[in-house]
Structure 1
Amino acid sequence: MATGSLRRARKRKLKAEINVVPYIDVMLVLLIIFMVTAPLLNVGVDVNLPQANAKTLEQKKKQPLVVQVNGAGELSLMYEGLKRPRAMDEAQLLAKVAAFIKADPELPVYVAGDAAVRYQRVYALMGKLQSDAHVARVSLMGSPPSAGKEH
């Protein structure tokens, strides 16, 4: 009889594994539910704001600094008080822009790149304006397409 109980003990070994398949199934179902419901949560709330005959606040319009890159990749700077852009090399331009930004950190800075200039040149200049001249926000300047021109 002792030998019979040993055989049963050998056949019925305990498993120390966790079956994770049901957990994966539940996780995938929850993932699908959240993916479907997430876009529906961005519903706006209608607010009926009070009306009054008050004057609007006037904001100071600051003249921006415009860094121009011509078709040959040469740089120039246009700012308030100049009638035409002042040509300069990159080091001079970064020093000048840094001085303007130090005087007024909220001064808008635009980069106007010629259509013929390589994008890499404009992109590198924007990076240097942010890192070297400490400009918080650099924007690209463009013009609307002409009615007669098509790509």
Structure 2
Amino acid sequence: MGIAEKLEDDMEDLSEINLTPFIDVILVLLIIFMVAAQTSAVSQDVNLPSSKADTLIKPKPITVTVKANGSFVVGNHIVAPSGLREALLAVHAMHDDRILLLGDQTLTYQSLMDAFDALRAAGYSQVGLVGRGAQQTK
């Protein structure tokens, strides 16, 4: 291999551009612009006008508890299964349309399905089940 051929091989290696430092710089600039844009949008000084409207207070959801004996408790009032619809309609004005269903762990699946059926018959479709957290199981 002659000197001319070796120089030619070295020139081919030098003709390729290394993109790694360029990509690193672009990523650092991207992060800087993302942080700068977020802080500039959050820290805007605005002098808000006053309003005469009442403050919106989000109503609490209605809690329905199914006890181990199958009886219902709406809020703090014990209700017969046949009177569940009327009890829910009575407390509806003070609460929103969400229902939180609390059930005793000894209940059968059928008891919970009966509770869901009663809630559906009363016109409630947004029902959430409440369970105990991991730290409360002791």
Instruction: Output the TM-score relative to the length of structure 2.
Output: 0.53
Q: CA deviation at 1:122?
A: 1.3
The 4+ residue runs of structure 1 with deviation greater than 6 A are none
Q: CA deviation at 1:73?
A: 1.5
Q: 1:112 and 2:102 equivalent?
A: yes
Q: 1:71 and 2:72 equivalent?
A: no
- Where in structure 2 are there 5+ consecutive unaligned residues? 1-33, 49-54
Alignment check: 8 A CA contact 1:98 1:135 kept: no
CA RMSD of aligned residues (A): 3.0
Letter in 2 for 1:143: R
Aligned to 1:136: 125
Alignment check: 8 A CA contact 2:79 2:87 kept: no
Letter in 2 for 1:117: L
Q: Secondary structure at the match of 2:132?
A: coil
The structure carrying a bigger helix percent of its residues is 2
Q: Out of 84, 87, 102, which is 1:96 matched to? A: 87
Q: Out of 49, 59, 63, which is 1:62 matched to? A: 59
Q: CA deviation at 1:108?
A: 2.3
Give % identity. 19
Could you tell me how far apart the structure 2 residues matched to 1:99 and 1:128 are?
A: 15
Letter in 1 for 2:85: L
| Number of equivalent positions | 93
Letter in 1 for 2:109: Y
Letter in 2 for 1:133: A
Q: Secondary structure at the match of 2:97?
A: coil
